[in-house]
Structure 1
Amino acid sequence: MEEIFVERSAEGFLRIAIKENDILKECHIQEERGNAYPGEVYIGVVKNVVPAIKCAFIDINCRRNAYMYMDSKFRNLNLKKGEKILVQVTKEDYGRKGAKVIKIISLPGKYCVLSNFSKGMRFSQKIQDESFKKLILEKIKIPSGIGVMIRTDAQNVPAEFINKEIHKLNDIYNKIKNKAQYALKPELMFDSGGALGEVLRDRLWDSNLKIYVNNDVDYKYIEDFLKGVCNVNVHLELYTGEKTLLSHYNMENQILNLRNNRIELNCGGYIVINKTEAMFVIDVNSGKNIRNNKMDKTVFITNLQAAEEIARQIVLKNLSGIILIDFIDMEDEADKKKVMDKLKAGFLNSKSKVVIYPFTELNLVQIARKRQGKPIYDYIEEDCRYCDGTGKKIKLSYMMVLIRNEISNISCDRDVKDFHIQIDVSYEKDVKNNMDRFIKGIGAGDKRIYITYEKKVSYKIEPLEFMSQIEHLKEFKVN
């Protein structure tokens, strides 16, 4: 049984947790703070063209200008400064770089993808059934001037569902073009549904599924999406409890635990995940795995369990780019093959392109995974300036979500208006410089808040229910 939990805060902070057989499999986080998200379509204005790096910079009315690589295959070599252009985001902004955009517009559906770049029909590489391809070529009608790519899920539905989706996507594309003609400034033309839309398109399989949401808007969006989907048994539920959705279903700590770089294995071994400037490095250790008398058996079991857990952690934490795995040395080629097969099996349902290279002579395995969004760390953690950026702490914006949820949960059980919040001193400057934003972010506009700053406390919340407590902390009250 798969369960999807969709929690959106009043400030637009979206978190989606996916559980399968009570194990957290995926976590998606999205902040609505003026950032472009992959799949969105904008009308932009070319601000600069730099031939030396074959790149154009485009204003799409976000915090940073987007960038577009110029290549003859993309038909964008003749861009001029000041020109209006319709673009689609392929990668969100990351670090100091703005979002990456392309001139090609692709509109994804559940069963197909419509594109203005190529004409005709093509099929997902995972579709090998030639009789299915022949049937589709006979029954699918493609509007003029566009191309269609048939997705893997199309094999499970009648042709009329695919035709219906193509017609719907073509209507959306025509509306985007018409709207862009009359746009006077850079602005968003089409929202693909963000992280929620991506999850629905990629996770609705032919299986029993439960989806829990905490607001009417997302409930209606999912309900409308399900009308165009068949062969999926989905139970959609609007959560109306007083506690926050993820807290009610005991998901909050599981998400926060994704910060941990050490993950224990059932056999007693463990893996350690570290990020460098160039790549992620994962080390496998036997730890307390001493149950077997034979060393080679101990090593094999540890590596086998590590391979399964590494694949899960890469997907769960959305690690991408170059990933280097240092397995414990193995001599037996048959054991290496079993470990490699276990590692590959963990990415069978991954939507990001993954390439796994064979064992090197040093028992290292290299993985290249296409980036789709930021690693989960980037939403939860930030550099700690008190240790010159060598350490990490919980990101203030994410901590505000946690504090707000905890205050909400306490208020559900008792009528408390006064709260003492202890925060690590490393956050003091940022909180004091924008206290209004902090109070709003923790949902405490109708509360009386008392803040103290301590060392090595991260954060701690105490409800003040007695006058003696309030009197003791009155000098720390936020006005």
Structure 2
Amino acid sequence: MTAELLVNITPSETRVAYIDGGILQEIHIERDARRGIVGNIYKGRVSRVLPGMQAAFVDIGLDKAAFLHASDIMPHTECVAGEEQKNFAVRDIAELVRQGQDLMVQVVKDPLGTKGARLTTDITLPSRYLVFMPGASHVGVSQRIESETERERLKNVVQGYCDEQGGYIIRTAAEGIGEQELASDAAFLKRLWVKVTERKKRNQNRCRLYGEVALAQRILRDFAGAGLDRIRVDSRLTFEQLLEFTSEYIPDMTGKLEHYNGKQPIFDLYDVENEIQRALDRKVELKSGGYLIIDQTEAMTTVDINTGAFVGHRNLDETIFNTNIEATQAIARQLRLRNLGGIIIIDFIDMSNEDHRRRVLHSLEQALNKDRVKTSISGFSQLGLVEMTRKRTRESIEHVLCGDCSVCKGRGTLKTVETVCYEIMREIVRVHYAYDSDRFLVYASPTVGDALKSDESHALAEVELFVGKEVKVQIEPLYTQEQFDVVMM
């Protein structure tokens, strides 16, 4: 099973597809006009303190003020044991910051919808194998490195690089890596931190102190150690930039880079374009004949599983169980592919067998183990729903590629022709009582106009009789189904 990255470059847009076993697993899109700022470090100024919300708004030079919660003004706790974390009590925001104060902050969430970016004062700088934590004195190890012997080895090696400047988190990609590479990474991160602090001293006003690298470079850094077989890039310029980047920072990836110059568009190699279109649909078909319905709202994402055309081979319990097991794999993939985050509620088909419920939950956990984004599953609730969360830092693919429908205004549904017809009739009666007129002219969309002249003509005739005036209908081809005007003549 091969794993590869496809990098597609078009003017002002970069797209990176992660293919595993010939199937699209992740898609990352970055546009110059809306480039993500997660990881960027800024010198900002507190514009407002809100004690009631335990938060402050910080001006970092963006259109919207960024949001800083009291819990994000904390020392490094990523690799502190759960019991020890309880000792880090969240203090009152008014004691931590004041209006007009200058702060060094880092973006942990891009602006999403109407919300500004979310910040932390807990600065971290990532490289291929390590994450530098300024001001910390400890070393943390990624939980994905399971071997206790390897964890201990890495910790002992990296502990020697800790000093008054800061400590480190050892990333998953560091497993099996030698001391020389780790030392090189640590030295690079310290040099970078010195540059950041120097910029802070030089600049009196708000400014950006450090910017994350572009999407293509960032993905290569984050996929270091992910077992990639090759990386194909369809732009000569970007290919050369990535060669330079990898030779300096990730030498073992340089040999995997290829410049793709085939006549067929690079995303057509694995049907990526069609997969992106399918990732925008509510309905996801399962191979068995069942399907998922995925609804994304501002508060949460819901996933509903249905057996559909799948009738099974044995009995109802087995049919339901097999559909739910298949759905766990599809759900894990869809969460990665669509980049869904926040609260996710999964409505599996009801299972009376407790063993089936346990096995479905285990299957979901196993499927989510492949996800590079942190997930947490709370298990089945009293209502039989599985509640989980997935860390959200960037917008979902739907929010990147789509906007609200100009017709339904983001509702996702339209009023029926019948509903609009009755609204028109009520409007005629309202206008009749409010103004004097001899007759009425109704402008309506083709579907509504045809209905008023045919299926609803008898109801319109009753309205004419009630108001004692003639009502004419004129079709406006450019009107949407919900659009109409009642004009007095």
Query: Considering the TM-score relative to the shorter chain, is it more than 0.5?
Result: yes
Stretch moving more, 148-157 or 332-341? 332-341
TM norm structure 2: 0.74
Q: Residues 424-439 of structure 1 correspond to what in structure 2 (within 5 A)?
A: none
Tell me the amino acid that sits aligned with residue 132 of structure 1: E
Q: Provide the rounded CA distance (Å) in 2 between the counterparts of 1:272 and 1:7.
A: 30
Q: Residues 12-161 of structure 1 correspond to what in structure 2 (within 5 A)?
A: 13-33=13-33, 36-71=36-71, 73=74, 77-140=95-158, 141-161=161-181
1:226 aligns with 2:273: no
1:289 aligns with 2:310: yes
Distance 1:133 1:392, change over 3 A: same
RMSD: 2.8
Deviation at residue 105 of structure 1 after TM alignment: 1.5
Distance 1:244 1:56, change over 3 A: farther
Deviation at residue 249 of structure 1 after TM alignment: 5.8
Deviation at residue 234 of structure 1 after TM alignment: 5.1
Deviation at residue 58 of structure 1 after TM alignment: 2.0
Q: Provide the rounded CA distance (Å) in 1 between the counterparts of 2:392 and 2:380.
A: 23
Tell me the amino acid that sits aligned with residue 26 of structure 2: E
Distance 1:176 1:332, change over 3 A: same
Extract unaligned runs of 5+ from structure 2.
76-90, 415-476, 481-489
Distance 1:334 1:15, change over 3 A: same
8 Å CA contact 2:23–2:270 kept in 1: the answer is no
Q: Provide the rounded CA distance (Å) in 2 between the counterparts of 1:119 and 1:372.
A: 27
Q: Could you list the per-position Cα deviations for residues 300-323 of structure 1 after superposition, in whole angstroms to 9, with x for gaps in the alignment? A: 211111111011111111111111
1:371 aligns with 2:397: no
SS of the equivalent of 1:46 reads strand
SS of the equivalent of 2:313 reads coil
SS of the equivalent of 1:18 reads strand
Structure 2 residue aligned with 1:339? 360
Distance 1:392 1:185, change over 3 A: farther
Stretch moving more, 219-228 or 308-317? 219-228
Structure 2 residue aligned with 1:182? 202
Tell me the amino acid that sits aligned with residue 208 of structure 2: L
Structure 1 residue aligned with 2:10? 9
8 Å CA contact 2:368–2:375 kept in 1: the answer is yes
Distance 1:244 1:54, change over 3 A: same
1:323 aligns with 2:324: no
Q: Provide the rounded CA distance (Å) in 1 between the counterparts of 2:241 and 2:147.
A: 33
Tell me the amino acid that sits aligned with residue 58 of structure 2: I
Deviation at residue 129 of structure 1 after TM alignment: 3.5
Q: 1:265 aligns with which of 244, 266, 286?
A: 286
8 Å CA contact 1:36–1:89 kept in 2: the answer is no
Q: Provide the rounded CA distance (Å) in 2 between the counterparts of 1:278 and 1:78.
A: 29
Distance 1:242 1:354, change over 3 A: same
Q: Provide the rounded CA distance (Å) in 1 between the counterparts of 2:244 and 2:398.
A: 32
Deviation at residue 385 of structure 1 after TM alignment: 2.9
Tell me the amino acid that sits aligned with residue 56 of structure 1: A
Deviation at residue 103 of structure 1 after TM alignment: 1.6
Tell me the amino acid that sits aligned with residue 119 of structure 1: S
8 Å CA contact 2:243–2:254 kept in 1: the answer is no
Q: Could you list the per-position Cα deviations for residues 322-369 of structure 1 after superposition, in whole angstroms to 9, with x for gaps in the alignment? A: 111111122222222222222111111322221112223543211111
TM norm structure 1: 0.75
Stretch moving more, 219-228 or 378-387? 219-228
Q: Could you list the per-position Cα deviations for residues 225-284 of structure 1 after superposition, in whole angstroms to 9, with x for gaps in the alignment? A: 433336668521223457754356642222122111111111111111112342211111
Q: Provide the rounded CA distance (Å) in 2 between the counterparts of 1:268 and 1:137.
A: 49
Distance 1:346 1:137, change over 3 A: closer
Distance 1:359 1:55, change over 3 A: closer
Q: Provide the rounded CA distance (Å) in 2 between the counterparts of 1:113 and 1:359.
A: 35
Deviation at residue 169 of structure 1 after TM alignment: 0.9
Stretch moving more, 42-51 or 232-241? 232-241
Q: Provide the rounded CA distance (Å) in 1 between the counterparts of 2:165 and 2:44.
A: 23
8 Å CA contact 1:274–1:281 kept in 2: the answer is yes
Distance 1:299 1:63, change over 3 A: same
SS of the equivalent of 2:392 reads coil
Distance 1:311 1:250, change over 3 A: closer
Structure 1 residue aligned with 2:332? 311
8 Å CA contact 1:41–1:190 kept in 2: the answer is yes
Q: Provide the rounded CA distance (Å) in 2 between the counterparts of 1:282 and 1:88.
A: 33
Deviation at residue 90 of structure 1 after TM alignment: 0.3
Q: Provide the rounded CA distance (Å) in 2 between the counterparts of 1:358 and 1:260.
A: 27
Q: Provide the rounded CA distance (Å) in 2 between the counterparts of 1:161 and 1:288.
A: 54
Distance 1:197 1:91, change over 3 A: farther
8 Å CA contact 1:283–1:325 kept in 2: the answer is yes
8 Å CA contact 1:35–1:63 kept in 2: the answer is no
Tell me the amino acid that sits aligned with residue 167 of structure 2: G
Aligned residues: 396
SS of the equivalent of 1:125 reads coil
Distance 1:34 1:289, change over 3 A: closer
Larger radius of gyration: 2
Deviation at residue 291 of structure 1 after TM alignment: 4.1
Q: Provide the rounded CA distance (Å) in 2 between the counterparts of 1:264 and 1:274.
A: 15
Structure 2 residue aligned with 1:444? none
Distance 1:196 1:231, change over 3 A: closer
Q: Provide the rounded CA distance (Å) in 1 between the counterparts of 2:5 and 2:262.
A: 17
8 Å CA contact 1:381–1:392 kept in 2: the answer is no
Q: 1:213 aligns with which of 233, 251, 266?
A: 233
